[in-house]
Amino acid sequence: MSLLRPLLNQYLRLTEKPHMRKASGPDALRRSFEFKARLFFHAPRAARLERGDLAGSEALWVRPRRGPRSQCTILYFHGGGFVFGSPRTHGAMVAALACRADADAVLPRYPLAPEHPFPAALDHALATYQAVRATGGSVIVGGDSAGGALTLSLLARLLADKAPLPEAVFAFSPLTDLTFSGDSFASNADADVELPAERAHEMAQMYLNGTDPTDPLASPLFADFTGAPPVWITAGDTEILLDDSRRMAAHLQAQGVDATYVEEHDLPHVWPIFHSTLPEARATLNTLGEWIKAQTGASAATR
């Protein structure tokens, strides 16, 4: 582990966790995250980030500054508890991943709660996936936290609809169970340096707006993934959402899915977003980038 890891954890514990605990609502969280992302998260120079359109809505496209367009596109759904975050807050991290995976990427601006509760974000995710799929080439779908939930819910919906599937799927610290029944939600409440467990139900209620939290399209832990393409998931052992990832990976494997689960020690929620400073973040992006290339290369199974 790097020397920066404990320093980052201490910073998050002293600043971000209290801020998230005390924030007056989604607007405050949105403004704060946008500001901090501009300060701390920087895309690699090899990538070009451009605002554009996808499925009739705003999106952020990531493409190489030089060379031809890739035949692989990463469709990425940002995290933020379904109520904050944007393509801009996560664009630098996705650009760093895209460079490692030899891929283009696109981050759609999906509708946020409470203004747009479930299933608005999932419906938009489906529309953006169909638009990317229609352009040809390989499609990898990924996301973090609540965006990881959208990623896996989208996969479940595609399977249920017998629609064309992505080549592979990945998730950083995904939220997969909106009943919050995992043991780690309580046992890691103090250890988690970033997420205040006591606010999770509030954000979930804004998103669900009366929907049963066990609905498999809201909580993908309860969905059927038989026939799914390979899935890669990572989480840290001190996160309140640790059991969301552990149980999701086990659920996928029990249904015959080629699911890879990587658990790291004492790293914060969605640590790859700190790639500009944290060596462990860059190492995770390196590992995932190689995994993505393996799924889209000539040796990957035809799906």
Catalytic residues: 145, 239, 269
For tokens 């997969």, what's the residue? 176
Hey, what amino acid is at 207?
Y
For residues 192 and 147, give the distance between their C-alpha atoms in angstroms, rounded to a whole number.
Answer: 19
Hey, what amino acid is at 126?
L
**Pairing between strand 231-236 and 168-172?**
parallel
Gap between the terminal Cα atoms of the chain: 38
Token representation of residue 296 = 């889209």
Q: Is 204 helix (H, G, I), strand (E, B) or coil?
A: helix
Number of helices and strands in the chain (H, E): 10, 8
The 104-108 sheet, strands edge to edge: 47-54, 57-64, 104-108, 72-77, 138-144, 168-172, 231-236, 259-264
